[in-house]
């Protein structure tokens, strides 16, 4: 599109991540270099997200779609050789893309699947590998030392060792089981036991009904006794109101306790996930040092780009095991994706 029309006609950019239980869409609308509107939505299913994109009011403006490639079958080959088997790629059909001195690869079936999935939208404009996003950030850093760069978004973890912009080695890991997601269904640890014993439920309900009936009878008898004894009915009502207030206070306390327990479970889930990714980073460093294709340069720095916060205790563990102090740099995955889209289309000029 001519630069003149870019200054007049708004451009729509859509960044998408598809996962099992969390599908995220961010839409940004630009006029020239000015952001004039944005929104972010989360869907339980990818079909819901795609339906939303299909029905989104684009007002006939040009729009581009970028999808995050989080499939496990991808990696980096630190040279331009065609001997893929030497790097453990195997005999699967792959697509490659040159990235400076290296090649980014992924299984052909994934590219074809996503092309087919988005065919009715005119196909995807971009299919961004985490390696491409990470290397874009690496170029901004301009580090001369041998540095391990890490990119984390949700269940995806990308690693790349570079020295003065040259790619030495890399790896990718998709964590199939997210501990945070598993704990969402763990709010009531006794739920299964209660569901398995229907008779016990009925018995509890009957006992509860009997208790309520007995209580009503007791209150009625007490009221009659107070009247016959000349007792003040206002005092009796005040006592009953006090009992109701106490019950409501107990319910509030129970709700607060339940929320606290949920927060503790979420924190425990995040800690477990972060520890798992830190262990993977440690094992990857060991693997890099033993790899015959790696030059053997000692890693001097560790820079961690992450969309989410990392539990400090997990980072302490990582530092103690690697003797590298992680430099945490918070990024927004979706803003970064749209930034790279605009750069690839020369919209940042």
Whether the CB-CB separation of 63 and 11 falls below 8 Å is answered with yes
The model's pLDDT over 200-233, given as tens digits with 9 standing for 90+, comes to 444 444 444 454 444 445 445 444 544 445 455 5
- Please report where in the chains the tokens 């020295």 appear, as a residue: 163
Whether the predicted pLDDT of 234 surpasses 70: no
Higher pLDDT, 264 or 322: 322
The model's pLDDT over 102-121, given as tens digits with 9 standing for 90+, comes to 999 999 999 999 999 999 88
3-state DSSP helix/strand/coil % of the chain, to nearest 5: 50, 25, 30
| Secondary structure (DSSP) of 197-241 | -HHHHHHHHHHHHHHHHHHHHHHHHHHHHHHHTT--HHHHHHHHH
Whether the predicted pLDDT of 139 surpasses 90: yes
CA 148 to CA 300: how far, in whole Å?
8
Q: What is the pLDDT of residue 299?
A: 95
pTM higher than 0.85, yes or no?
Answer: no
Category of 275 on φ-ψ map: left (φ > 0), alpha (ψ -120 to 50) or beta: alpha
Q: How many CB atoms lie within 10 A of CB 130?
A: 25
CA 135 to CA 149: how far, in whole Å?
9
Q: What is the pLDDT of residue 323?
A: 95
Q: Angle at which helices 312-322 and 233-290 pack, to 10 degrees? A: 20
CA 103 to CA 132: how far, in whole Å?
11
Whether the predicted pLDDT of 38 surpasses 70: yes
* % of the chain surpassing 90 pLDDT: 56
Whether the CB-CB separation of 98 and 189 falls below 8 Å is answered with no
Q: What is the pLDDT of residue 252?
A: 59
**61-75: average pLDDT:** 94
Whether the predicted pLDDT of 68 surpasses 90: yes
| Secondary structure (DSSP) of 54-111 | HHS--TT--EEEEEE---SSEEEESS--S-GGGGT--SS-EEEEEETTEEEEEEHHHH
Q: Worst-scoring range by mean pLDDT, 42-46, 128-132, 247-251? A: 247-251
Under the banding of pLDDT at 50, 70 and 90, the label for residue 177 is low
């Amino acid at each position: 599109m001519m630069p003149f029309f870019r200054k007049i006609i708004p451009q729509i950019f859509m960044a998408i991540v598809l996962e099992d239980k969390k599908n995220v869409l961010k839409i940004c609308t630009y006029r020239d270099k000015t952001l004039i509107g944005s929104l972010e939505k989360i869907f339980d299913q990818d079909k819901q997200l795609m339906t939303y994109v299909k029905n989104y009011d684009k007002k006939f403006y040009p729009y581009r779609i970028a999808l995050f490639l989080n499939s496990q079958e991808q990696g980096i080959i630190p040279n331009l050789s065609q001997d893929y088997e030497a790097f453990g790629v195997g005999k699967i059909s792959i697509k490659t893309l040159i990235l400076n001195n290296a090649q980014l690869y992924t299984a052909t079936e994934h590219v074809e699947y996503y092309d087919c999935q988005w065919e009715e939208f005119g196909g995807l404009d971009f299919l961004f590998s985490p390696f491409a996003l990470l290397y874009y950030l690496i170029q901004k850093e301009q580090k001369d030392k041998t540095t391990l760069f890490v990119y984390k978004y949700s269940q995806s973890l990308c690693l790349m060792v570079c020295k003065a912009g040259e790619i030495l080695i890399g790896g990718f890991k998709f964590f199939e089981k997210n501990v945070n997601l598993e704990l969402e269904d763990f709010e009531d640890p006794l739920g299964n036991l209660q569901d398995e014993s229907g008779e016990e439920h009925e018995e509890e309900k009957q006992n509860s009904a009997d208790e309520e009936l007995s209580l009503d009878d007791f209150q009625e008898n007490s009221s009659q006794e107070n009247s016959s004894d000349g007792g003040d009915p206002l005092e009796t009502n005040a006592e009953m109101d006090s009992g109701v207030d106490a019950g409501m206070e107990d319910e509030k306390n129970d709700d607060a306790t339940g929320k606290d327990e949920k927060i503790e479970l979420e924190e425990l889930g995040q800690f477990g996930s972060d520890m798992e990714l830190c262990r993977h980073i440690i094992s990857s460093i060991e693997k890099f040092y033993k790899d015959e294709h790696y030059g053997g340069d000692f890693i001097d720095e560790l820079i961690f780009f992450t969309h989410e916060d990392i539990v400090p205790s997990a980072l302490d563990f990582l530092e103690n095991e690697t003797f590298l102090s992680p430099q945490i740099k918070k990024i927004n995955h979706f803003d970064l994706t749209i930034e790279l889209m605009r750069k690839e289309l020369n919209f940042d000029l």
